[in-house]
Amino acid sequence: MLAAAVVALLGAAGSARADTPGLVGNVGLNDAYTITLDNGAGNKVTHLDPGTYTLTLHDHSSFHNFHLSGPGVDASTEVDFIGDKSFTVTFTDGTYFFNCDPHSSQMKGTFTVGTVVTPPAPAPSPAPARLAASIGPGTAFSLRPAGRLAAGKAVITVRDRSASDGFRLSGPGLVRSTGAAFRGTVSWKVSLRAGRYSFGSVKHPLQRRAVTVSP
């Protein structure tokens, strides 16, 4: 009866192990820069159900290691270790990562478990405002659109048609100008802040106007 009981217990333990799904990780076979994780049947792991798994790691190299991490799990081999290690891991909903610590930029992988909520994509950045500025001929100058401007990124196309003056824009965190000897068209990529800006002649401060940039 004792022998029968022992056999029954061993059979139950073996059945429990059989019921635990297995995962197999390999790293550094023939010292190559490779790392894989499969389901024991050679199929790459990309998604798993939550639960408890047996993780068997085959570390083939003395300068690589296998490191699996994620919610509630942190299992690894040492870098100088060669051989096999087994872990019992319990996965919950989330994303898990495996990599070689010394070479994590090139030897890495991920998989998901259960229901993973994908964060919403960030809202696209607004397109920069388009402004047009000019000076010359003579003392004429302008900045359009006229009136209040909104803070943010802007592209200003400046046409300098003056033979003896340039266009200047200044305000919070910004001073840009064309040279007095310059004639032609340039584009400025700027960030406008809330506040008061001055625009107009480079050489003659009295030949400038103001524009307000709102928050």
Q: Which tokens is 190 given?
A: 């700027």
CATH of the domain at 24: 2.60.40.420
How many helices (H) and strands (E) in the chain? 1, 18
Q: What is the pLDDT of residues 122-143, one digit of tens each?
A: 888 889 999 999 999 988 999 9
Q: 28 and 85 share a domain?
A: yes
> Is residue 92, in this structure, part of any structural domain at all?
yes
Q: Which tokens is 151 given?
A: 């803070």
With a CB cutoff of 8 Å and minimum separation 6, the contacts of 187 are 155, 156, 157, 158
Judge residue 161's burial from the number of C-beta atoms within 10 Å of its C-beta, 0-12 exposed, 13-18 middle, 19 or more buried: middle
Q: Which domain holds residue 146?
A: 129-201
Q: 156 and 194 share a domain?
A: yes
Q: What is the pLDDT of residues 165-211, one digit of tens each?
A: 999 999 999 999 998 889 999 999 999 999 999 999 999 999 999 99
Cβ count near 140 (within 10 Å) = 11
Q: 133 and 109 share a domain?
A: no
Q: 106 and 52 share a domain?
A: yes
Closest C-alpha among 63, 58, 111, 49 to residue 87:
58
| Residue where one domain finishes, among candidates 113, 145, 170 | 113
What's the average model confidence in pLDDT over 18-44?
A: 92
Q: Please name the amino acid found at residue 49.
A: D
Closest C-alpha among 174, 173, 169, 191 to residue 125:
191
- On the question of pLDDT at 108 being above 80, the answer is yes
Tell me, what's the pLDDT at 144?
93
Closest C-alpha among 20, 27, 25, 26 to residue 54:
20
Q: 36 and 104 share a domain?
A: yes
Closest C-alpha among 190, 191, 164, 192 to residue 178:
164
